[in-house]
Structure 1
Amino acid sequence: MRTALLTAAVLSALAAPAMAHDAGDFIFRFGAATVAPNESSDVVADIGEFGIDSNTQLGLNFAYMVSDHFGVELLAATPFSHTVSLPGLGDIAKLKHLPPTLMAQYYFGNGNLRPYVGAGVNTTIFFDEKFTNDLDGALTDLSVDTSVGLAAQVGVDYQFGSNWLVNASVWYIDIGTDVDFKLAGDAVSISTDVDPWVYMVSLGYKF
């Protein structure tokens, strides 16, 4: 009788879904993150709008589970580098940025597969702005303002083993900035929306 009860208890425990994330867990994820701008801007010198290419870097995020279903996450990365172009002129500038993003998240389910959604705020800091084609000295003094905007996210974790997981996630980030420079000595400011989709595939560790 005791053996039968013990066997039943073990089988019941094995059949019960394991909670992939519990209140108090810290989760560290690292992988490839791609920023794909969905850009638009004011027309520049009657030529056209800015174009901004995509870039992939090492993405990092750190999450803390406030409860079994609610978490907070900070997105970080190595600096993204983008080339800026204009129609008919090709590449005219390069810049880098860091996009720290703080998210509040809700995780669905209670097993090893945990889809989630998130919303939060992003700060994008631009630096190392420089013209690569200054049109024989006509373009000078390039700078790009820091942006603060909202962000939304969907993602999914799949835990394997006791601590490891794989993750796929997508963000949409509202990035709006002013691109300031001088054109033939005259100050110009171009309102620019970057508004990228950010895609990340990563490996995670829970502790």
Structure 2
Amino acid sequence: MKLQSLVLATAAALTMTTAFAVPAGTWTVGAGAHYVMPKDDNGTLANGALSVDVDGDVRPTITGEYFVANNIGVELLAAIPFHHDITLTDTDGNPFDAKIQHLPPTLSLQYHFDGYNMPMNVKPFIGVGVNYTTFFNERLYLGGPADLDIDDSVGVAGHIGVDIPFADTESFRIDARYMDIKPDVSLNGADIGSVDISPWVFGVAYVKSF
């Protein structure tokens, strides 16, 4: 009887989980803002002659996710261009300022822990995918002609977050991503190395499901 009761309880739990899972075919759209926080040590350029420091920036973002199976979604993150100030410091301690813009579209496969009876009905999720970052409007202020060019970057991206529902189809989202961004850099056509930006990206958003 105990085994039968355990089997019945397990079957009921599985049925409940399935019933409240995000069903395949669901769409969600999110609108919010994200802060790109580059890692502290961004490396050196020109064989160690220049140390690199990249600052952070926050911009509006949008996400779209389609659930290919229950609780499993494919998400695309997009944003308006991020702006970053860069400080290059030579071995004598002299700083040189640079500015860049970039777009970091990111495609992720995600699993949502929906239907697991979490406290306050919160819905955590995890994901992994690929980030493509394209750089443009690079500017370096050296007091003379300087053509700074940063190549596009492709790398792995991880994603973790939680949705906090406040209506049947509406949620408040808090999330964090790690992006592997290590682009090559050239100055006046000459390769001078690569910069390790690899940021954490923290965000909040309003999410609507359809």
Report Cα offsets for 1:142-196 as digits up to 9, x if no partner.
11000011011101112221221110110000001111113xxx83422111100
| Residue of structure 1 aligned with 2:192, choices 189, 194, 207 | 189
Shift, 1:44, TM fit: 4.0
Structure 1 partner of 2:163: 157
TM-score (norm 2): 0.81
Consecutive unaligned residues of structure 2, counting only runs of 5 or more, are 1-15
Q: Secondary structure at the match of 2:114?
A: coil
How has the CA–CA distance of structure 1 residues 43 and 130 changed in structure 2, closer, same or farther, with 3 Å as cutoff?
closer
Matches within 5 A, 1:71-86: 71-86=73-88
* Residue 97 (structure 1) aligned with residue 137 (structure 2): no
Q: Is the 8 A contact 2:45 2:195 kept in 1?
A: no
Structure 2 partner of 1:119: 128
Cα distance in 2 for residues equivalent to 1:160 and 1:188: 52
Structure 2 partner of 1:24: 25
Identity fraction in percent:
37
Shift, 1:47, TM fit: 4.3
Q: Is the 8 A contact 1:165 1:203 kept in 2?
A: yes
Q: Secondary structure at the match of 1:40?
A: coil
Q: Is the 8 A contact 1:57 1:80 kept in 2?
A: yes
How has the CA–CA distance of structure 1 residues 121 and 164 changed in structure 2, closer, same or farther, with 3 Å as cutoff?
same
Cα distance in 1 for residues equivalent to 2:122 and 2:182: 35
Number of aligned residues: 186
After superposing the two structures, state which structure 1 stretch, 95-104 or 31-40, moved more: 31-40
Q: Which amino acid aligns with 2:37?
A: A
Report Cα offsets for 1:94-124 as digits up to 9, x if no partner.
0100000000001113164210110000100
Q: Which amino acid aligns with 1:127?
A: F
Cα RMSD of the aligned pairs, angstroms, is 2.1
Structure 1 partner of 2:207: 204
TM-score (norm 1): 0.82
Cα distance in 1 for residues equivalent to 2:83 and 2:182: 17
Consecutive unaligned residues of structure 1, counting only runs of 5 or more, are 1-15
Cα distance in 2 for residues equivalent to 1:177 and 1:201: 27
Q: Which amino acid aligns with 2:153?
A: S
Q: Is the 8 A contact 1:47 1:86 kept in 2?
A: no
Shift, 1:90, TM fit: 3.7
Shift, 1:55, TM fit: 0.1
